[in-house]
Amino acid sequence: MTESIRTGQTQVNETAIALVWQSGAAGAHSLHPVESLRAATELFEPVLDAVIETAAGHPDATCIIRTATHALQRSVMTRIRWASESYMAFLLDGVHQAQLAERRRIARELHDRVGGSASVVNRNLELAQTYAETDPDRCQDKVDVAYQASVHTLEAVRGVATDLRLESRFDNLAKALRGFLDAMAEGNATVDLKVSGDESWAPPEVLAEVFLVVREALRNAFRHSFATTVLSHVDIAPHEVRAWVSDDGVGFDPDSGARGGGSGLASMRERIELLGGKLALHSVPGHGTRIEALIPLTRTVK
């Protein structure tokens, strides 16, 4: 701006601004454009007041103030543009990482739920072939084991396929969550699921992300908590979505990251934060676990 006042022409070094944003301070890329605009507004007025005060009494005061205003406005808008582009790149990277995490999860599901049973089928059929001529009774035993394992394999494939269908065609949060619970059908825990409010108040992409987060929280509760009761509530209001999953299981120390290796929680937190929300975890060894998510709908891009 000083150079603009000196020459009487609006000059903004966009290359320098771009380099600053591309090299950026830690965390700058995750700064929401609204925060950049708010900071620019706070900066604009005092700087302009200082220019007016300095130019007072100068014969070219009007020209100086006009030039300074144009330079300041262009400088601010250039920074906001770079901040917005940087933030969009940050979001796209977050989405990419979430997709990679989901692909890794599906790979784990195929390995753990399908691969294990398929290996049992294969091994017992091999043994049955070995005993076919020398020990018919043992051969039949191995065939029976292989058959039961094949049933488990088919059930596992259906479970994974159900998960994929729920993700690819999402149109109702309550229905999707109940479908997931039916597909899981494991453990002895009593599950209480409630979805309240009008789902039309939230964009479909928000509901889809809430489903994925609640599903992961339920999955962790089923597999790690040894709980007798699991509660899951989703409350949808015109201005926000609140969701929580609570169990009365063994709990764990959140700082240790022992439960689920921490990757599931990181994925859930990333999904919620990309929507402008917050996710909180509360757990104490021996006293259960509670995961809460809050998503403000007013800040969601529709």
Give 170-181 as a 3 state SS string: CCCHHHHHHHHH
pLDDT of residue 143: 93
Weakest-pLDDT range from 27-41, 42-56, 121-135: 27-41
Q: What residue spans of 169-302 are helical by DSSP H?
A: 173-184, 204-224, 263-274
Contacts 24+ apart (CB under 8 A), 127-136: none
State both tokens at 119: 């290996």
State the CB neighbour count (10 A cutoff) for residue 150. Answer: 16
State the CB neighbour count (10 A cutoff) for residue 114. Answer: 18
Check pLDDT > 50 for residue 300.
no
State both tokens at 199: 């789902």
In this prediction, residues 234-249 reach a mean pLDDT of 95
pLDDT one-digit tens code per residue, 253-278: 887 755 544 557 877 888 888 888 99
Contact 231, 225 (CB under 8 A): no
DSSP lists the bridge partners of residue 246 as 231, 290
Percent of the chain, pLDDT > 70? 78
Check pLDDT > 60 for residue 103.
yes
pLDDT one-digit tens code per residue, 2-41: 555 445 555 555 555 555 555 554 445 556 667 767 777 7
Tokens 């201005």 found at: 239
Q: Rounded to whole angstroms, how far apart are CA atoms 88 and 93?
A: 9
